[in-house]
Amino acid sequence: MKTSVTKIPAAIRKRHHIKEGDRLVWLDDGEVIRVVPVSADPITALRGSGRGEKLLERLLQNRREDREREEWASLSAGALEAAYGEDEPEYSLELVKSPNPDYEGR
């Protein structure tokens, strides 16, 4: 890979803790070019970044919500299966004795 020198203004270097020799990645999305510093050891750089975010609480809450959704889906499927079993007759319009005047077609 070819390397080149990029001059970064001092204020930006200080604000983002960029030192001489640090690697930069250039991201071009077709409209904007972003220059992103890449740590020599990304795992170490991320250590502690989630501190104070209550990640375990959020994970457990999401799992509870997923379980609840799955239980409702299972309950709904069971209720539909019980209501419309395989022995359910076909209903046609001829079986309707009188239309419901309050039905709005929704």
Range of the domain at 20: 10-38
Angle subtended at Cα 40 by Cα 36 and Cα 41, rounded to the nearest 5 degrees? 110
The pLDDT of residue 67 is: 96
pLDDT computed for residue 60 by the predictor: 95
Q: Contact 35/6 with Cβ under 8 angstroms?
A: yes
pTM of structure: 0.39
* Cα distance between residue 55 and residue 49, in whole Å: 11
| Blockwise average pLDDT, block size 10, the chain, 106 residues | 82 90 90 89 81 89 96 91 77 79 74
What is the tally of structural domains in the chain? 2
Q: What is the pLDDT of residue 32?
A: 94
Angle in degrees, CA 29, 32, 34, rounded to 5: 90
With respect to residue 66, please indicate whether it lies within any of the assigned structural domains: yes
Any domain includes 83:
no
Contact indicator for 71, 79 with CB cutoff of 8 Å: no
In this structure, is residue 71 part of a structural domain? yes
Read off φ and ψ for residue 77, nearest 5 degrees: -60, -40
* Whole-number pLDDT of residue 19: 87
Does residue 17 sit within a domain?
A: yes
